[in-house]
Amino acid sequence: MIRRTLPCLAALALAACAVPPPKSMPEAPAAVLAPDAPLPAPIRDPAVARAEFVRSTSQRFGIPAADIEAVLAKAQIREPIVKAMSRPAEAKPWRDYRPIFIQPSRIDGGRAFLEANRAALQRAEDAYGVPKEIVTAIIGVETSYGGNKGSWPVVDALYTLAFAYPRSGDPARVAYEDRREAFFRDELAQLFALGKEEGIDIATLKGSYAGAMGWGQFMPSSYRQYAVDGDGDGKRDLFNDLDDVIASVANYFAQKGQWQRGGPVMQRAVRDASAADFANPGNAVTLDRTLPMLAALGYRPAAAPLADAAAPATLITLEGVAGPEDWIVFNNFKAITSYNISRLYATAVFQLAEAIAGRSPDPA
């Protein structure tokens, strides 16, 4: 999700970046265009698409067309970004994906970050209900606690994906690829709006190859909609102010993800020998079962149930080192997928959070 340079980068020195706490967490600003709002149909001709982008962005956000053109005139199509978008990490199986994030340095870094920023994390947990270790794990997975916030010019990243989104040549993927290109074109427009609203020179921003920025890697639309001023200084700074970063991540989960305070995320399941495979492909999480319904299908919690019989749930299966892993997932797992739809990502965040908190990341 956005970025800049922060003088306090070392995980063990993050406490030095602390600022005085506000008396209470503020509300998020009035909603703007949501990241999942309907997007316009793509325009195939690049020159026509760019001209339409300038016209519509200028009209939509009250930005002079000449200012938009001046930024785009310096933007570049970056071929490495096209290649990177064609091979995301989530294509790995869980047994290969897990070691990227559940490893000693990231766990130790998370514990150091939590200790250095305990007060801000506690304020966010009190205000939004999202546990300290979950917010910490998000920042750890996204940027290694601020150590790797990305080096791509954000304008170039979004410009590339807005006007040169990679095409597979598969007719079955055309509609999906059109939607993704339209999404990034909207995010580029949102970046211009963000620069106007927050007084940011967007040409100076660096971020991920997908245009995500800051400690929490917010996309421009998410910055505009979910960022909050965590320390009461009148600014929403997700580049340099950890109070704002922490509060904004928690607010995102509370608002976008509908996080349930005190609710479970996921729990290992045991499978009866006679149970049929549970068909649940893809990444979308639909909570259309309950624990009794899953038990009737031959899947039960491996330990004491973390939710009551009426709680919405479903089952996912991951490809672990020792074979298939069955997990029962609940509302707060789905909340994590609002940050990144990948089930592998959500599982990694949960297991890293558990490890940071001193609990077993996988109790099986």
Q: Which residues are catalytic?
A: 142
Question: How many CA atoms, within 13 angstroms, populate the side-chain half-sphere of residue 235?
Answer: 13
Distance CA 165, CA 255 (A): 29
Contact 344, 94 (CB under 8 A): yes
Distance CA 166, CA 176 (A): 11
**46 Cβ contact list (under 8 Å, min separation 6):** 163, 164
Strand ranges inside the chain, DSSP E: 152-153, 206-207, 266-271, 299-301, 314-320, 323-329
Residue type (1 letter), 254: A
Contact 187, 194 (CB under 8 A): no
Distance CA 160, CA 149 (A): 19
Which of 298, 314, 222 is CA-nearest to residue 265? Answer: 314
Task: For the chain, report the end-to-end CA distance as a whole number of angstroms.
Answer: 33
Q: Is 274 exposed, middle or buried (0-12, 13-18, 19+ CB in 10 A)?
A: exposed
Count Cβ neighbours within 10 Å for each residue of 19-58 and write b for 16 or more, e otherwise: eeebeebeebeeebbebeeebeebbeeeeebbeebbeebb
